[in-house]
Amino acid sequence: MSGLYIRKFIDRVAQCDATGAKDFVWNMQDAKNLHGDITKLMLDLRLLQSNPTQQQTPEPATIEVDGGTW
C-alpha cells in the first residue's frame, strides 16, 4: 500500500467540509483499504523507532588521490 487511501480520505473530508456536508459515508472496501494503509504506516513507524541505528547514514568514505609517479 502506498498511502493512496489516506490521501483519498483526506481529500474526501476536505470536499465534505467545503460543501458543508453533515455526513460522511465511505464504502466498506475503501474503509478496509484505509485501515490497511494506517496499519502499514504504524508498523513502519514502530520499526523505525525500534531500530534507530539503521536509519542513520554511514560516514562518508575518505579517498586520497595523489599524482603518484605521473
Q: What is residue 32's predicted lDDT score, i.e. its pLDDT?
A: 96
Q: Does residue 24 sit in helix, strand or coil?
A: coil
Q: What is residue 55's predicted lDDT score, i.e. its pLDDT?
A: 53
In-domain check, residue 32: yes
Q: What is residue 56's predicted lDDT score, i.e. its pLDDT?
A: 61
Number of domains forming the structure of the chain: 1
Three cell numbers, residue 52:
534507530
Distances (CA, A) of 66 to 38, 47, 54, 60: 53, 44, 34, 19
Q: What is residue 43's predicted lDDT score, i.e. its pLDDT?
A: 93
In-domain check, residue 70: no
Which of 5-19, 20-34, 41-55 has the lowest average pLDDT?
41-55
Domain that holds residue 25: 4-55
Q: What is residue 54's predicted lDDT score, i.e. its pLDDT?
A: 57
In-domain check, residue 34: yes
Asked if the model's pLDDT at residue 47 lies above 60, the reply is yes
In the DSSP assignment, the letter for residue 56 is: S
In the DSSP assignment, the letter for residue 59 is: P
pTM, 2 dp:
0.65
Question: For residue 56, is it left (φ>0), alpha (ψ between -120 and 50) or beta?
Answer: beta
